[in-house]
């Protein structure tokens, strides 16, 4: 494979062609997966970055070295799996896998004691790596190199740049299926900053289709729609409720909406197809739909590919509350597992069981609350069916052992199928009263008694 960069010197009278051929450098850094993973030593920290950035061929080759290595620690995030280094070592003597935001696959790894969660706030991602985290080797999937010597991080732009800068050794795995995505900064890495290059045939990405909303999700979404205005900027989190919001907006009269989101999903593609997503009213990044990472269908990746109306940025930018606050009418919509009567939100665990991660919920709560006309919604169904077959309320008297994702002091709107309440500036009794008003009717009397017991109720 030859890579030829052609440029013109402004000093020449007619313009002198200057040739920069990257072919020799490329060939000099090219390795098989088996050769490349030889750089990993016992005790190393290895980073797989995020989602489609997972290096499938390198992961497979590293797993084959299991019996040669001890205590190799790997980090990843939102990886759909399988992760061979985790699967091949159930005793975790050779490889120990970590995730700082669990996909459904990584959640199951946690259940099997094959994954440990790393608590993070997404807007601090770059700072974690710059100041606190050791990376001996990073292995990251990229799109094929362009004529200027750049590999594109694609839908992995949100996290890849800071990790590669920190790593002692950088290995890129060229994946021919990766879409090339335009960015604000840190969307690419130059061959001069790469130590080794791996090539090989990859299977097409899984066609991850959006979760189909249920009737309860649509009822929740219907409570949110009146708060969204023309020209609003949307952050839609993961889950059926954000998908339902996108579905209803697509059929509404809303127009000129903008995208500013840590995770781009098919909900935004649907809004674009319906002519709702123009990004023309944004205060910053006008005309650009901004995101950090993307997970979805092949149609989504095709839409993102070489699209000048899209800009991928690192999460330190996308999730910065100061950046989010600059966008007028910023609307953030996320989901949670449960809320207690004090307004605390558990969104990443069920008891001590890790389900997902803190992610950007807190970032967007703070940023959207500071936006002019901004609003932050946290959504949930009022009840769920437990493993015991019993129906339980998601609004609880008080958490006991659950991991708190968002503190009560920074929670804004809470939504169930029974309504929406705003907790900002509310006292403890007002919060209890309002939350009970949107609880399932079968649990309101019990919750009222619990509020009285905790002295947060006015008769």
Annotated catalytic residues are 262
Distance CA 340, CA 358 (A): 17
Q: Are strands 30-31 and 116-117 parallel, antiparallel or unpaired?
A: unpaired
Contacts (Cβ under 8 Å, ≥6 apart) of 172? 140, 141, 142, 151, 189, 194, 196, 197, 198
- Count H helices, E strands: the chain? 16, 27
CA distances from 380 to 219, 364, 424 (A): 11, 17, 18
In 201-310, which residue ranges form alpha helices assigned H by DSSP? 215-224, 240-250, 266-273, 298-304
- CB-CB neighbours of 221 under 10 Å: 25
Closest CA to 150 of 106, 191, 97, 205: 191
- At 62, list the tokens: 């590293």
**Bond before 82 cis per omega within 30 degrees:** yes
Start-to-end CA span in the chain (Å): 78
């Amino acid at each position: 494979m030859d890579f030829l960069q052609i440029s013109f010197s402004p000093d020449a009278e007619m313009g002198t062609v200057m040739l920069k051929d990257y072919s020799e450098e490329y060939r000099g850094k090219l390795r098989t997966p088996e050769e490349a993973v030889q750089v990993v030593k016992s005790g190393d920290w290895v980073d797989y970055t995020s989602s489609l950035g997972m290096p499938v061929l390198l992961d497979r080759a590293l797993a084959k070295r299991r019996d040669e290595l001890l205590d190799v620690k790997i980090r990843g995030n939102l990886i759909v799996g399988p992760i061979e280094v985790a699967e091949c070592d159930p005793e975790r003597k050779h490889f120990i896998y970590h995730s700082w935001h669990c996909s459904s696959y990584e959640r199951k790894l946690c259940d099997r004691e094959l994954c440990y969660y790393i608590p993070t706030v997404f807007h601090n991602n770059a700072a974690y790596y710059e100041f606190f985290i050791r990376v001996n080797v990073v292995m990251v999937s990229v799109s094929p190199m362009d004529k200027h010597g750049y590999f594109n991080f694609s839908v992995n732009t949100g996290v890849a740049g800071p990790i590669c800068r920190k790593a002692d050794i950088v290995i890129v795995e060229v994946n021919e299926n990766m879409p090339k995505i335009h960015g604000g900064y840190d969307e690419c890495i130059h061959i001069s900053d790469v130590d080794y290059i791996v090539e090989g045939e990859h299977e097409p990405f899984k066609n991850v289709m959006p979760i189909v909303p249920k009737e309860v999700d649509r009822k929740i979404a219907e409570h949110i729609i009146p708060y969204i205005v023309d020209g609003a900027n949307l952050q839609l989190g993961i889950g059926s409720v954000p998908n339902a919001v996108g579905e209803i907006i697509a059929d509404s009269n809303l127009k000129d909406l903008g995208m500013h989101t840590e995770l781009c999903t098919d909900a935004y593609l649907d809004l674009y197809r319906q002519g709702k997503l123009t990004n023309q009213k944004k205060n910053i990044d006008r005309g650009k739909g901004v995101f950090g990472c993307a997970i979805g269908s092949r149609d989504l990746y095709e839409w993102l590919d070489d699209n000048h109306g899209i800009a991928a940025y690192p999460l330190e930018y996308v999730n910065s509350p100061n950046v989010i606050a600059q966008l007028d009418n910023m609307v953030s919509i996320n989901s949670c597992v449960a809320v207690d009567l004090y307004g605390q939100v558990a969104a990443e665990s069920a008891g001590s069981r890790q389900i997902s991660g803190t992610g950007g919920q807190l970032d967007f709560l703070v940023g959207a609350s500071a936006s002019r006309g901004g609003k932050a919604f946290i959504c949930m169904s009022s009840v769920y069916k437990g493993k015991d077959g019993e129906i339980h309320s998601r609004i609880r008297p008080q958490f006991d052992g659950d991991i708190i994702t968002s503190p009560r002091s920074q929670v804004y709107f809470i939504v169930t199928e029974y309504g929406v309440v705003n907790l900002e500036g509310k006292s403890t009794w007002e919060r209890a009263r309002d939350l009970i008003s949107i609880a399932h009717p079968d649990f309101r009397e019990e919750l009222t008694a619990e509020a009285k017991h905790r002295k947060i109720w006015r008769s």
